[in-house]
Amino acid sequence: MPLRICFIASEVTPLAKTGGLADVAGALAKYLHAAGHDIRLFMPLYGQVDRSKLEMWPVAFLQDVPLRLRAHALRFSVHTARLPGATTMIYLIDCPQLFERPTIYSNAPDEHLRFIALTHAALLCCQRMGFTPQILHCNDWHTALAPLLLKTIFAWDKLFRDTRSLLTLHNLGYQGIFGAAHAVDTGLEAALAQLDYAETSKGLVNPLKEGILHADHISTVSPTYAREIQTPEYGWSLDGVLRGRAGDLSGILNGVDYEDWDPRHDRFLPKHYGANQLGIKSQLKQMLQERLGLQAEEQIPLIGMVSRMTLQKGFDLLFDALPALLEAREFSLAVLGNGDARYEDFFAELAHRWPHRVAFHRGYSDELSHWIEAGSDLFLMPSLYEPCGLNQMYSLRYGTVPIVRRTGGLADSVQHFDPTTRAGTGIVFNDYNDEGVSWAINTALDLYPQKALWRRLVQNAMAQDFSWKRQVGEYEALYERMLAAPRHAGA
Ligand code: ADP
Ligand code: GLC
């Protein structure tokens, strides 16, 4: 049955992206729309959105709309555009005062206000469009206040009478906490006391926690992460509330948009290959090695990394392990990323010390990320935690063997290769320590010269299918279950 879905996200590929949330929001909206659903997708019109490649139309009845959040008298306008590469329309919330900033996210004191405004704006748009969403799907802390707003200040509107809210947790490490002195910015007005007292009594508002407490259902982006976040180790202090909602918590593995990520037609590559054309992959490897100034030899394995450089991604494990391995073994590294200075400095130092073996590109580049996926032999993701992770799934499709730690979505998407049975798709290690990651890299480097085994591993990897076409069915089934269930009574 076609559903009416209001989907709100702080980033959407290809318009604004800092990480996997954008890829998931863009692809999920695209495939839900393709499956026949009426999906209204909302995102801020950031200064970063490349307007030269986007045909935007102002929505006539959504211009200069007043939005008062206590002391903040905001005004926003809405433009609509076709999401590039899809038939889905996106509604862009234009409020330059909030969204024309040097970066998509900031540490500005009004960071919370920017996304509260997005959330209010999306709900106001539904009202003005007369759109009755059956599902309100919000994502991460930025839009996690939506379920509470729906139950309180928007509750008078019969438009939302039957709406069910779903909060998808892409990353528990970011909760959007702000000072309770700004609680009035939520626009909750008389319902302010509904905010979680355990937080407000400490002088804080925790938007993600509010979402967990008030959403009709909570999902996260892999079954393993859904279990992990209910433990203190992975719960970031929210494991208790998550256990309290265990009956309404699901894990749905992310999918891959193979229209964007497939070596058979990748728009960034000059040559394309499938599982039986690995010679072309070798040519791309050589081109990448030359471009990055790395020694260009086929028998030297190339390990790629593309990542936000944060604690989550496991870089701390590499400080001792990588220099020791570079001393002991023959391989090279191609690294793309930016983030915390200590990680950036570490890779810059490695590249300085081994100029023809380590290439580090500090920054963000869609184009180079596709090249690294295609041209590398191995892809390293030693994450401390990983709600889902997309690059390991991209790597599988590119025949670039993932080396991952057994956590979250990495555990759910990569099977350790067993040379005896010749089954498995990558190298998987358990322990978050130096020995664990070194063992994994050594195991991969030992396998690489065993041509027949290696070829089998690469082909196993390339045969995996994580397409959104399939995963979208899981969301449809969840939406249907939510609609059949009563609304969540509240915290
Ligand atoms: P996360 O969302 O935690 O960053 P994911 O693996 O889910 O991790 O998704 C990361 C996405 O962001 C991938 O599409 C990856 O290619 C992309 N990405 C991360 N860092 C960079 C970068 N420096 N340049 C280009 N793309 C990047
Ligand atoms: C988050 C997670 C990542 C996940 C992505 C998309 O940023 O860190 O693991 O793949 O969201 O859901």
What pLDDT score was predicted for residue 442?
Answer: 98
Q: What is the atom index within ligand 2 of the atom nearest the CA of 387?
A: 9
- Preceding peptide of 102 cis, ω within 30°: no
C-beta separation of 190 from 138 below 8 A: no
DSSP 254: -
pLDDT of residue 172: 97
Domains by residue range for the chain, with CATH: 4-255+469-484 (3.40.50.2000), 278-465 (3.40.50.2000)
Query: Which pLDDT does position 1 carry in this prediction?
Result: 84
Confidence of residue 469 (pLDDT cuts 50, 70, 90): confident
pTM above 0.95, yes or no: yes
What is the predicted pLDDT for the residue at 296?
86
How many angstroms separate the CA atoms of 376 and 304, rounded? 5
- Give residue-wise pLDDT tens across range 301-322: 999 999 999 999 999 999 999 9
Q: Is 308 in the pocket of ligand 1 (CB under 6 A)?
A: yes
* pLDDT computed for residue 491 by the predictor: 61
CB of 69 closer than 8 Å to CB of 103: no
Instruction: With a cut of 80, say whether residue 210 has pLDDT above it.
Output: yes
Q: Considering the chain, what is the average pLDDT of its residues?
A: 97
Which uninterrupted H or E stretch holds 116? helix 111-129
Mutate to test the pocket of ligand 1, among 390, 404, 413, 466 (most ligand atoms within 8 A of CB): 390
pLDDT in tens, 165-207: 999 999 999 999 999 999 999 999 999 999 999 999 999 999 9
Checking if the pLDDT of 81 tops 70, the result is yes
- At 5 the pLDDT is 98
Residue 77: its pLDDT value, please? 98
Dist. CA 97 → ligand 2 center (Å): 28
Looking up tokens 């999920």 gives: 28
Q: Are 447 and 453 in contact (CB under 8 A)?
A: yes
What is the band of 85 on the pLDDT scale with cuts at 50, 70, 90?
Answer: confident
- Regarding the beta carbon of 20 and ligand 2, being less than 6 Å apart is answered yes
Residue nearest ligand 2's atom 10 by CA = 389
Give the tens place of pLDDT for each residue, 413-427. Answer: 999 999 999 999 999
Across 478-490, average pLDDT: 93
Whether 226 contacts 249, CB under 8 Å: yes
Mean pLDDT for 352-363 is 98
DSSP β-bridge partners for residue 381: 404
Q: From residue 8, give the alpha-carbon distance in Å to each of 139, 185, 260, 375.
A: 7, 19, 22, 35
Distance between CA atoms of 37 and 43, rounded to whole angstroms?
19
- Can you tell me the distance from the alpha carbon of 99 to that of 480, in angstroms, rounded to the nearest whole number? 35
Cα–ligand 2 centroid distance for 309 (angstroms)? 13
- Residue 158: the pLDDT is 97
Q: Are 40 and 59 in contact (CB under 8 A)?
A: no
- Indicate which residue's Cα is closest to atom 20 of ligand 1: 307
Ligand 2 in contact with 368 (CB < 6 A)? no
